[in-house]
Chain A
Amino acid sequence: MSNKLRNGLCVLAAVGALLGARTASAELRVVATTPDFGAVARAVGGDRVSVEVLAKPTEDPHFVDARPSHVVKLNRADVLIEGGAELELGWLPPLVEGARNPRILPGAAGRIVASTGIALIDVPASVDRSQGDLHALGNPHFMLDPLNAKVVATRIAQAFCALDAPGCDAFRANDAAFAAAVDAKMQEWTQLLAPYAGQPLVTYHVSWRYFASRFKLRAETFLEPKPGIPPSPPHLAEVIGKMKTDGSRAILVEPFQERRVAEAVAARTGAQLASVSQFPGGVPGTDADYIALLDADVHAIAAALASAQAAASPSAPGR
Chain B
Amino acid sequence: MDLLTLWLWPLLALVLLPGLLVYLGLHVVERGVIFVDLALAQVAALGVAVAILLGAHPEHDSLPYAMALLFTFVGAAVFALTRFRHLRVPQEAIIGIVYIVCAAACVLVLSRTASGDEEIKNLLLGNILLVTREQVLQTFGLFTAIGGVHFVFRHQFMLLSFDLERALALRMPTRFWDFLFYVSFGFAVTSFVQIAGVYLVFSYLIVPAVCGALLSARIGARLAIGWAVALAAGVSGLLLSTQWTSMDLPTGPTIVCVFGLLLVLSGALAVVIRHRETELSAVGAVPAGAEAKLE
Residues of the A chain whose Cβ atoms lie less than 8 Å from the Cβ of B53 = 130
Given the contacts A65-B250, A68-B241, A129-B55, A99 and B114 also touching, CB distance less than 8 Å: no
Given the contacts A66-B129, A66-B130, A94-B59, A130 and B251 also touching, CB distance less than 8 Å: no
CA distance A223 to B241 in the complex (A): 37
Closest to A97 in B: B132
The number of A-B residue pairs with CB atoms under 8 Å apart is 72
Q: Which of A95-148 contact B (CB under 8 A)?
A: 95, 97-100, 128-130, 132-134
Contact at B5–A100, with CB atoms within 8 Å?
yes
Is B6 close to A, CB under 8 A? yes
Residues of the B chain whose Cβ atoms lie less than 8 Å from the Cβ of A134 = 114-115
Contact at A229–B130, with CB atoms within 8 Å?
no
Instruction: Indicate the size class of the contact surface on chain B.
Output: 20 to 34
Contact at A71–B55, with CB atoms within 8 Å?
no
Contact at B248–A68, with CB atoms within 8 Å?
yes
Is A230 close to B, CB under 8 A? yes
Contact of A100 among B6, B112, B251 (CB under 8 A): B6
Residues of the A chain whose Cβ atoms lie less than 8 Å from the Cβ of B121 = 65
Residues of the B chain whose Cβ atoms lie less than 8 Å from the Cβ of A228 = 113-115
CA distance A67 to B113 in the complex (A): 24
A interface footprint on B148-172 (CB within 8 Å = 1, 0 otherwise): 0000000000000000000000000
Minimum CB–CB distance for B227 against chain A, Å = 25
Minimum CB–CB distance for B198 against chain A, Å = 16
Contact at A63–B115, with CB atoms within 8 Å?
yes
Residues of the B chain whose Cβ atoms lie less than 8 Å from the Cβ of A129 = 55, 114
Contact at A94–B55, with CB atoms within 8 Å?
no
Contact of B130 among A75, A98, A132, A226 (CB under 8 A): A98
Is A84 close to B, CB under 8 A? no
Is B249 close to A, CB under 8 A? yes
Question: Which interface residue of A69, A75, A128, A134 has the most chain B CB atoms within 10 A?
Answer: A69
Closest to B10 in A: A98
Contact at B111–A68, with CB atoms within 8 Å?
no
Contact at B115–A95, with CB atoms within 8 Å?
no
A interface footprint on B108-136 (CB within 8 Å = 1, 0 otherwise): 00011111111001000001011010000
Minimum CB–CB distance for A93 against chain B, Å = 9
Is A270 close to B, CB under 8 A? no
Minimum CB–CB distance for B196 against chain A, Å = 13
B interface footprint on A223-237 (CB within 8 Å = 1, 0 otherwise): 000111110000000
Residues of the A chain whose Cβ atoms lie less than 8 Å from the Cβ of B115 = 62-63, 90, 134, 228
Closest to B59 in A: A94
B residues with a Cβ closer than 8 A to A are 2, 5-6, 53-55, 59, 111-118, 121, 127, 129-130, 132, 241-242, 248-251
A residues with a Cβ closer than 8 A to B are 62-63, 65-69, 71-72, 75, 90, 94-95, 97-100, 128-130, 132-134, 226-230
Q: Top 5 closest A-B pairs, CB basis?
A: A228-B114, A132-B114, A130-B55, A63-B118, A68-B242
